[in-house]
Amino acid sequence: MLLLTTVPSPASSPTDPSVETTVLDHGLRVTTVALPHLHTATVAVFIKVGSRFESVSANGLSHFTEHMLFRGTERFPTSLALNTAIERLGSTLHAETGRDYTLFSMGFEPERVNAGLELLGELLGRPRFGDIELERALVLEEINEDYDEDDVEINADDIARGLMFGDHALGQRIIGPRTNVEGFGEADVRAHFARFYGARNMILCVAGPIEHGVVVDAARRYLGDLPVGTSAEPAPAPPGPGGPRWKHVRDSGAQTSLAMLFRGVPELDPGYHAFVGMLRALDDGMSTRLHYQLADQQGLAYSVGASIEPLADAALFEITSATANSKLPTLVAEILRLVGSLRDQPIDRDELAKIRTRYRYETLASLDDSSAMTGWFGGTALYYPPLPLSERLAAMAKVTADDIVETARRVLTSDGMVLAAVGALSKARIGELREVVTEWR
């Protein structure tokens, strides 16, 4: 018996596609997003597993297990056979491991979706986990990109997250440390797979010109024998870092890589859309503050950008750049000056209107991107019900300039900031950087 948990979403707004969810007997949630105007569909499965679910000794195992799933199944016993079967349907298997979830997705013509679901059922239901030494070598090569010849970590993004979250699992690297990857065996992979890849810990989401009932029938046929499993629950995110905290890692080269993080506003917080507005005031095109003032006018960096990383129960506000070693202290000082200005003076009416217009465009454009729709109505739904697009637009339309100031004062604080710099800085430049970071308020 199938339990229908939601009915089609009402057509209350032309921006809201019809979204339906059915829960199969074994707990797999099957969600469809009807996009009849498109010509292709995305099939995606989201699993609640990632680096925040790992112990220190198991860190990297989620990523390693995702890689091992490419190594064939009972029906397609090699990576070549598996990928050939997928590519014969016109698709490519895409996978990624994050902190909060792991994703597998493929794109198809609508009439090939059922065949794609059959392959997905094979991938998740009957993996071989063969050729482990070959895959280990590839993952170790991937790890090598983040370390120098002296085995010192030089990935500024990961270093910054370690500063932000400390010993909490969110501070771990997704790929894990080399020693862990060198020691993972087939038994470790199979145990991790058995623990997290159960039906109750997954959402299947299909978006495109498809019919819900057809997708549900195919999911029941091809994924109905997945083990039930249990829904995983991560440890809550820790409090802020009590910063400012910063770290310099010496590296060769003419440029220093910069990653600056602040604790942000989670998606479930009523102030989230003001947080998004704050981001867009800093970085939303070539006319906004970060690019125009720091790159275009001052030439402090070729590129500098800001972004939000939403997590299940937290969020990060990140500013990244790379600049000449000698310019780094000045660049950091100017970034902090810009973010500080958002706390002091509201943006004007024209800028607020531009933020809303660009947000609306990108929201509407997501309706032409079936992959984006699976991410919102599938990945987000692992943790909480995603807002309809019309409600997201309405929330942004209500954001005021004063709301952005309030959010900037909440987020852009010295005690919520960490900074990682990787480059060949002189002692003088390190001293200047220390002074800039520690004196900013």
State pLDDT tens for residues 351-380: 999 999 999 999 999 999 999 999 999 999
Amino acid at 38: L
What average pLDDT does the segment 274-288 reach?
96
Position 6 confidence tier, pLDDT thresholds 50, 70, 90: low
Amino acid at 68: M
Residue for token pair 């790929």: 175
Answer whether residue 172 shows pLDDT above 50: yes
Position 7 confidence tier, pLDDT thresholds 50, 70, 90: very low
Structure confidence at residue 2 (pLDDT): 46
Q: What is the 3-state secondary structure (H, E, C) of 271-289?
A: CHHHHHHHHHHHCCCCCCH
Establish whether the linkage from the previous residue to 266 is cis, with ω within 30° of 0: no
Answer whether residue 290 shows pLDDT above 50: yes
CA angle 46, 48, 49 (to 5 degrees): 110
What average pLDDT does the segment 288-305 reach?
95
pLDDT, averaged across the chain: 95
Classify residue 165 by burial, with Cβ atoms within 10 Å: 0-12, 13-18, 19+.
buried
Name which of 123, 113, 94, 115 is nearest 33 in CA terms: 113
State pLDDT tens for residues 124-133: 999 999 999 9
Answer whether residue 3 shows pLDDT above 80: no
Q: How far is CA 329 from CA 24, 349, 432, in A?
A: 56, 33, 6
Dist CA 203 CA 100 (whole Å) = 13
The tokens describing 45, both together, are 């499965």
Same-fold call for 3-223 versus 245-439: yes
Structure confidence at residue 440 (pLDDT): 95
Answer whether residue 11 shows pLDDT above 50: no
State pLDDT tens for residues 212-247: 999 999 999 999 999 999 999 999 999 989 989 999
Dist CA 224 CA 218 (whole Å) = 9
Looking at the chain, the whole-number percentage of residues with pLDDT higher than 70 is 97
What average pLDDT does the segment 425-435 reach?
96
Which CATH number among 1.10.10.1150, 3.30.428.10, 3.30.830.10, 3.40.50.2300 corresponds to the domain 3-223? 3.30.830.10
Structure confidence at residue 1 (pLDDT): 39
Answer whether residue 10 shows pLDDT above 50: no
What pTM was estimated for this model as a whole?
A: 0.94
Structure confidence at residue 243 (pLDDT): 80
* CATH for the stretch 245-439: 3.30.830.10
Domain ranges of the chain: 3-223, 245-439
Structure confidence at residue 189 (pLDDT): 98
Name which of 59, 77, 236 is nearest 158 in CA terms: 59
CB crowding 78-102: b at 16 or more within 10 Å, else e:
ebeebbebbeebebebebebbbbbb
CB 207 within 8 A of CB 35: yes
List of residues 6+ apart from 408 with CB closer than 8 A: 278, 339, 342, 343
> Using only C-alpha atoms, what is the Rg of the chain?
23
State pLDDT tens for residues 60-112: 999 999 999 999 999 999 999 999 999 999 999 999 999 999 999 999 999 99
Amino acid at 254: A
Answer whether residue 5 shows pLDDT above 60: no
Position 14 confidence tier, pLDDT thresholds 50, 70, 90: confident
Position 150 confidence tier, pLDDT thresholds 50, 70, 90: confident
Structure confidence at residue 13 (pLDDT): 67
Distance from the Cα of residue 408 to its chain's centroid: 23
Classify residue 33 by burial, with Cβ atoms within 10 Å: 0-12, 13-18, 19+.
buried
Name which of 298, 303, 353 is nearest 330 in CA terms: 298
